[in-house]
Amino acid sequence: MKIAVNCIFLQKNNLEGYGYFVQETFKRLAQQHPEHEFVFVFDRKFDAQFIYSDNITSVIVSPKARHPLAFKFWYDVKLPLALRSIKPDIIIQPYGFCSLITSVPQLLMVHDLAFKHYPTFISKLHLFYYKNYTSKFLQKATHIATVSEFSKQEIIDHYKIDAKKINVVFSAAKNIFQPLDITRQQNIKEEYADGKEFFLFTGGIHPRKNLLNTLKAFSLFKKWQQSNMKLLIAGRLAWKFDDVLEKIKTFKYRNDVVLLDYVKEETLAAITASAYGILYPSYWEGFGVPIVEAMQSGVPVITGNTSSMPEIGGTAALYADANDPDSIAKQMLSLYKDESLRKKLIEEGKLQATKFSWDKTAGLLWQIILNTAQSK
């Protein structure tokens, strides 16, 4: 079988949610199934690190697909032309978009429908594209995969898609997210937090991730507790970040806020495992990988109480209203003042994290690939 994979989000030093998902699943699938040929389709020059095994070949289909007009041209003109030459049995579309033109069976990954709930968090042009084409993509796709039961139900409710057409494959955290010994933790604290304990906010600086309310909550926590706790922020400047950066300049506790920008995954894993707690009060998530990363690392989690986050965190996380800094701050205070609660969350979190792994995800995805290809 020849399997084409849309790999336009595999970019060196810029892997985030979509890119990590493709890397972790298709590295495994290509290595586990050497009898099949995988064709990775890029839209620009790529790094050789993404060719994980000998049964992977690569194709560059230009121009770069990075805005709605380019999406339409790439998916419905250039990609179908390339697929005529590649002649795959199936193409995997991992980013919520697919071709409306090609006759090749398509497995479409839809991670969430956040644009329906928070339309102001994306540009107007992108919003127009999502609103006008998501329904068409879902209808065109041979099969659909998503990363949580919550997201599956959202797709069914909003677009009346047959539940049999949708499978949940979940997401996961990398194996490098593991607990660290106390000495290594202290070294990380010395390097990044002046030797102090710290909460970690991880994720791109984007309105959906809710950094502004996190900063307000941190301010309330510092006011109530008078501790020397730091707040580390690890994530690239994604979209509409200027307002956040300006507010940090005048933030009362700005000397206790450390902006790390994008950090390498090995560094992020070490920082995560050294945190006092993870703050992830996102407005909306299809899955929420940082929740599992933290739990797998033996670190307690404070996250949002909406969308998929309670499904992923289970009883092993503290939940807050993402719209209410006071709600977030109270959970921070609970974690700080109740050491028995913190220990309980750490132990339950480790157990909860075992429900998600890239090996499980790859196995589920492989079965869907087989089913989709057989429909040709």
Confidence of residue 240 (pLDDT cuts 50, 70, 90): low
Residue closest to 222 by CA, chosen among 328, 132, 126, 97? 328
pLDDT at 375 over 90: no
Which runs of consecutive H residues, i.e. helices, occur in the chain? 17-32, 68-73, 79-86, 114-117, 124-140, 149-159, 182-193, 211-225, 242-249, 265-274, 289-296, 309-313, 325-337, 339-353, 358-374
71-123 per-position pLDDT tens digit: 999 999 999 999 999 999 999 999 999 999 999 999 999 999 989 988 988 88
Cα distances from 118 to residues 122, 128, 319, in angstroms, run: 8, 13, 20
Using a pLDDT cut of 90, give the percent of the chain over it.
81
pLDDT for 354:
97
Q: How far apart are CA 68 and CA 123, in angstroms?
A: 10
Greater pLDDT, 238 or 264: 264
326-360 per-position pLDDT tens digit: 999 999 999 999 999 999 999 999 999 999 999 99
- Radius of gyration from C-alpha coordinates of the chain: 21
112-121 per-position pLDDT tens digit: 998 998 898 8
Using a pLDDT cut of 70, give the percent of the chain over it.
95
Mean pLDDT to the nearest integer, 187-205: 93
Instruction: With beta carbons less than 8 A apart as the criterion, state whether 303 and 291 touch.
Output: yes
Task: Report residue 344 as tokens.
Answer: 């309980």
Task: Report residue 276 as tokens.
Answer: 């006092």
DSSP 187-231: HHHHHHHTT--EEEEES-B-GGG-HHHHHHHHHHHHHHH----EE
Assess whether the previous peptide bond of 63 is cis (omega < 30° from 0). yes
pLDDT at 192 over 90: yes
Domain 2-172+358-374, CATH homologous superfamily name and number: Glycogen Phosphorylase B; (3.40.50.2000)
Residue closest to 272 by CA, chosen among 311, 247, 251, 299? 299
Domain chopping of the chain, boundaries = 2-172+358-374, 182-353
241-297 per-position pLDDT tens digit: 566 666 776 777 788 999 897 788 899 999 999 999 999 999 989 999 999 999 999
pLDDT for 243:
66
Architecture of domain 182-353: 3-Layer(aba) Sandwich (3.40)
Residue closest to 42 by CA, chosen among 20, 24, 65? 65
pLDDT at 237 over 70: no
**Of the candidate ranges 90-99, 205-214, 225-234, 301-310, the one whose mean pLDDT is the lowest:** 205-214
133-172 per-position pLDDT tens digit: 999 999 999 999 999 999 999 999 999 999 999 999 999 9
Confidence of residue 17 (pLDDT cuts 50, 70, 90): confident
Q: What region does 131 belong to: left with phi over 0, alpha with psi -120 to 50, or beta?
A: alpha
What predicted TM-score, i.e. pTM, was given to this entire model? Answer: 0.90
Residue 163 per-residue DSSP state: G
Residues counted in the chain = 376
pLDDT for 219:
94
Domain 182-353 in the same topology as domain 2-172+358-374: yes
What's the mean per-residue pLDDT of the chain?
Answer: 93
Residue 113 per-residue DSSP state: -
